[in-house]
Chain A
Amino acid sequence: MLGLAALALSANAARAQRLLVPMDDAQQNHLKAYGLTYTAIKAGASAEWLLNYRGGSFLLADTPELRRQAGLAGITIEPIDNGRLGQIRAEIASNNMEAVPLEKAPKIAVYRPSEELPWDDAVTLALNYAGIPYTSVYDDEVEHGDLSKYDWLHLHHEDFTGQLNKFYLSYRDAPWFIDLLQKNTAEAKRLGFANIPALKKDVADKIREFVDRGGFLFAMCGATETLELAIAGKNVDIAQSFLDGTPMDPDADRKMDWKRAMAFRDAHLEQSPFVNAMSDIDGHQVNVPGRQQPLGTFTLFNFSAKFDPVPSMLVQNHRAVINDFYGVTTSFNKAVLKPGDIILANEEGAPWVKYIHGDYGKGTWTFYGGHDPEDPRHAIGNPPTDLSLFKNSPGYRLILNNVLFPAAKKKPLKT
């Protein structure tokens, strides 16, 4: 009898019922933990997101391959048996926590040009580091309707007003800018548009349609603001003459159709071609001397995990207060938010918010201001951030929350 009991015990230790991936401070590599979970979902293994439980932990099937991947990446896992699992479920049931099944690995597209540019993209860095596969798409693919192949689309530094982020103010003679201008102009012509602004506005509208049909959109940095300007300004000349040969329509502000936009309303365009800003959507205006606002910290909202699982998923973190970071669009002024927007994070006492989310048609959008959560003053030409040095980054976790949340099985609200 004794011999049989020992054998059973050792078998339990070797293969537990589940693997708990803690996401509190016990976790050695938060960012790769998302990749592990994505791998599990993609392989069809059972996976749950334990919202608000130990920093938003994951509960995965115990398989040799997942153990191997965790060991290779230095991801902390805790094998648990059914008894311990029961205790966890009881704790979740009696607190502001929820277990959300993760069912289908989303097909991910990142909107980015094929050529190397002198800046990087935090989402691409995060996806690469976590080991989550994605496909790069750009204007050609969008114009040919390829977005329908994907569940999730990410936008970063792109200027959808077609003004190339007004880099002509500082970099008009830089070889990379000249190249960028030539390639974009040629691409616009090839796709049948008169100029870059016309192409980008059409691309923006196709992205809007992607969300309207049920897609998940995640945007950071300048893409948030310019996407909205391009959508609202579809029938207005909002580009300066450098790009389309004509100045901005002096009455552009009045002609903007904000009903078409997803997140913002009644913003005012920057009329001057010599001011490196697009509108008053951004609260920080990092590239405008005299307007630039200092960086502070932003605080994540604590939602009800049982009643608001989607915003809860988006703010899962082991830190509630996070250092702010600049981008060409760093934050979003409260004054221009639409009434239905959900504020996920804001800066205490400031007139702006950092991280917002909302529904549009059958889909959702999430906007996260700033360029690189671990390089608060990232500048053009700076080397990309090495995420192996920031494997517990709370700012990057917010990006990866967005990658996983489309995998969640929708549950009917309990109200």
Chain B
Amino acid sequence: MVAIGIAPIARRPPTIAAQAPADTMAFYKALDLEAAGKYKEAAPLFRVALHTPASVNALLGLERVLAEIGQSDSLVATLDTLIASNPHEETYRTVQLRTLQSLGREAALRAAFDKWVHDVPDSPSPYREYADLLLQRNRSAAADSVLARANMTLGSTKDLQLEVAQARAAQGQWVESAQAWRQALIKADYLEQAAAYALAPTPMSSRPQVREIFLSLPIEVSSRRALADLETSWGSASDGWNALKSIPPDSAAADAWSEFAKRAESEERWTLAREALEAALRWKHTPDVALRAGTAALNGGDAAAALRLAPLADANGDSALIAKSYVPLYARALSSLGRPAEAERMVAAYDRFISPGAHNSLIRTIAWGWVRTGDMNRARAALAATGAEGDSSDAAGWLALYEGNLKTARVLLRGGTESSPELAMALALIARIKADTAPAIGKAFLALARSDSTAAAAQFVDAADKTPVVRSLLLLSAAQIQSRRGNDADAIALWKRILDTENDSPEAPQAELEWARTLRRAGDASGAAAHLEHLILTYGGSALVPQARRELDLAKAAIPPN
């Protein structure tokens, strides 16, 4: 329970900085000895300091060093004296409870709590500290009874909402816990994460009620942030965003949105990050948030929005800033939009502010843009301009592949820095082909790069006919493209061809598994089961067999679907 660890520190900030007269020298000497690990020597000095203005901190020091040397029991009498001299000092009482608990003196612990309540009848502190101790020991029912007593004695538990929340959560009373957390967060917004952590085990059946409690009016930023964390921990970042997006815009809301976006960015949930950052921008437009929003949009596949969200005007003509932060974003966005010429012009305009390394990176990005427009000559020319580095880049490797130059592609793509499904497929192909050239395969990949999936599928089939050594892999690639396009019949024809003619290839079990999955999705469970059984019995050594068994269970309804 993270919250239990946090709360006492937050409630009582250190006070020593404000109290440092000359007669506290013993205290500082004791601190030095403690820091040096000389606990036995530190103890008597902390005792001396108990009678100085640093008494509270001296007591905490004494508690620490006595615990180190296993003499906590010698603190009991000292605490009795200190409490008798100052019954209202809460730290004395807290240390007393802690000490008696660590010594296992249950009856004395209970008596000390009762005495504290008796001496300070209107204070919630005794209930809070005692309940905290009980909760730390997983005695949630006992803590609950202490809180119930507080409610009766004090008339409410409004000052004990954190403890109530923890006790309720420990007892599985999720709705009641959520209500208490909501109250606790009003006074202590730093407990958002603690609330989310404590409520994370809430079962599905109680989640709607918990949600309702945090979403109820009035809207408070802290409770919405806690709910956003909670929803994310329950597996739905989009519900997390739903909790935050209706907060009335102000600086606290903008902070919440920006922080949510930061988490989404780190998890590469670009659409959510963009939404959150756009909300923050609507409250207040700042260049750094605008750049993040633009980047999120671009990474989410919306290059046009990237240009709109991060306007160059934000840079106020600062060429160095534009070169460093805006040109990379714009070069990528423009290249993605099929406007590499504009990207080239922009790079040229700010060239003197761009480092050589960054320059070459930008040129490679632009070369990609030319590839996307189908202009291989411009792409090659762009790379040539970057010299040797361009020649050895990932883009150069892809260009070589598109031209069917497998020898060069093999070298460059293997040593490349990017990773993508297309690269994995390309490397798998190249590894199995001994020949140095394969123009048909190059055409297929080029069509794929241009997002022309119809042509790509046809080109892969064409390449399969011309390259027997990787026929099964090329047919499987064509089938995957058809499947992604929803052309199940075409995909099935290709899988069937693999199983009929390439049944001893590594792709055969994969083709059969994908065929079975497609049939199951279409509602043909018995057809799927037949293929899965064939796969398991025919390709018993395949790494896909465990997946096939699971699919078979699903097809036979032996296990509940996810």
Contact = CB atoms under 8 A, between A and B. Distances in A.
B558 interface: yes
A388 interface: yes
Interface stretch (B126-134, B250-258, B511-519, B545-553): B545-553
A129 B562 contact: no
Contacts, number: 65
A128 interface: yes
Given A72-B552, A388-B550, A128 B559 contact: yes
Nearest to A294: B138
Instruction: Kindly name the residue among B171, B546, B549 whose own CB sees the greatest number of chain A CB atoms within 10 A.
Output: B549
Contacts of A125: 559-560
A26 interface: no
B144 interface: yes
A289 B549 contact: no
Chain B contact-residue range equals: 20 to 34
Contacts of A380: 203, 205
B206 A388 contact: no
Interface stretch (B279-287, B341-349, B445-453, B533-541): B533-541
B18 interface: no
B553 A382 contact: no
Given A72-B536, A118-B205, A292 B171 contact: yes
Nearest to B171: A289
B557 interface: yes
A68 interface: yes
A169 to B, nearest CB: 12
Contacts of A292: 141, 171-172
B558 A129 contact: yes
A382 B203 contact: yes
A383 interface: yes
A380 B562 CA distance: 17
Interface string A386-398: 1110000000000
A74 B540 CA distance: 10
B467 interface: no
Given A68-B537, A72-B536, A129 B559 contact: yes
A86 interface: no
B553 A388 contact: yes
B141 A381 contact: no
Given A289-B144, A289-B171, A290-B144, A72 B559 contact: no
B236 to A, nearest CB: 14
A381 B205 contact: yes
Interface in B264-300: none
A15 B557 CA distance: 32
Given A379-B203, A382-B203, A386-B559, A74 B546 contact: yes
- Most interface-central of B138, B141, B205 (chain A CB within 10 A): B205
Interface in A343-397: 377, 379-384, 386-388
A38 B540 CA distance: 24
Contacts of A296: none
B537 A72 contact: yes
Interface string B203-214: 111100000000
Nearest to B562: A386
A19 B557 CA distance: 27
A129 B550 CA distance: 11
B204 A379 contact: yes
A124 to B, nearest CB: 10
15 contacts: A71-B537, A71-B540, A72-B533, A74-B545, A125-B560, A128-B558, A129-B558, A131-B556, A289-B144, A290-B171, A292-B141, A379-B206, A381-B204, A388-B553, A388-B559
The 10 closest A-B pairs by CB, nearest first: A381-B205, A379-B203, A381-B204, A384-B560, A380-B205, A290-B141, A388-B559, A289-B171, A129-B558, A128-B558
Interface of A: 68, 71-74, 118, 120, 125, 128-129, 131, 289-290, 292, 294, 377, 379-384, 386-388
Given A131-B556, A377-B172, A382-B205, 6 more contacts: A125-B559, A129-B558, A294-B138, A379-B206, A384-B560, A388-B550
